[in-house]
Amino acid sequence: MPEVQAAEDQLDKEHDEIVESHRNYLEKIQKAFDARCDEIGVATEKKLTEIPESDQEKRKEILTEEQQQLDQALAELKQVVNRRDADVRKKLEDIEKKRDESAMDLEAELAKIV
């Protein structure tokens, strides 16, 4: 049954690679999101320095615009993460399906021996 163990080891390796790849991707996406939020914040600060403190209406407009941009960035992040999560979930389900098939094959082989 060494071939069964080799197949299990291969599936474990695939599983670990998928999880590690996903983790790295999420870290990369998080950094990109943080950078985008920082860019939005810097742009807002620049705009606010150009508007007098007394013009509260214009300052409020700028802050509302900033919030809309941040909300858009967050929506895009969620969309990307959800799509990637679905892909990863599918790959992991495929691995589990292969494990189940392998277990059934092993049971069939054992039934022949007994």
The pLDDT, as a whole number, for residue 4 is 60
Token look-up 């092993």 returns: 106
Please state, in angstroms and rounded to a whole number, the distance separating the CA atoms of residues 44 and 23.
Answer: 32
Strands (E), the chain: none
Q: Is the Cβ–Cβ distance between 44 and 64 less than 8 Å? A: no
The pLDDT, as a whole number, for residue 3 is 67
**Average pLDDT of the chain, as a whole number:** 89
Higher pLDDT, 105 or 78: 78
- Residue count of the chain: 114
Please state, in angstroms and rounded to a whole number, the distance separating the CA atoms of residues 96 and 91.
Answer: 9
**Among candidates 68, 70, 66, which has minimal Cα distance to 46?**
66
Query: Span 55-69, mean pLDDT?
Result: 96
Query: Which residues form the domain of 106?
Result: 2-113
**Structural domain count, the chain:** 1
Q: Could you read off the pLDDT of 5-43 as tens digits, one per residue?
A: 777 888 889 999 999 999 999 999 999 999 999 999 999
Q: What is the pTM of this model?
A: 0.76
